[in-house]
Amino acid sequence: MKYLHFVAYILLWIGGINWLLVAFNWNLVEMLLGSWPQVVMIVYVLVGFSAVYTLVSHKSYCKNCNAGQAM
């Protein structure tokens, strides 16, 4: 599960940075993978799934959330 959490975390960063760039009319994923629309869709789906996974499993991995709990 540690590796899944790490991959989800990296995908969240990629998605967040891409959304920041989209705000300035520059889509990095489309620029890099635009000639393969299926791969672009897969990247977007993976980023979306990583957001859902991180949302659901955040409390078990977050040190700040677990700081007040007794072990």
**Residue spans per domain, the chain:** 2-66
pLDDT of residue 39: 92
pTM for the predicted model, two decimal places? 0.72
- What's the maximum distance between 2 C-alpha atoms anywhere in the chain? 52
Q: How far apart are CA 38 and CA 29, in angstroms?
A: 12
Distance CA 52, CA 58 (A): 10
**Whole-angstrom distance, CA of residue 22 vs CA of residue 17:** 9
**What pLDDT, on the 0 to 100 scale, is given for residue 56?**
85
pLDDT tens for 8-59 read: 888 888 889 999 999 999 998 899 998 899 999 999 999 999 888 888 887 7
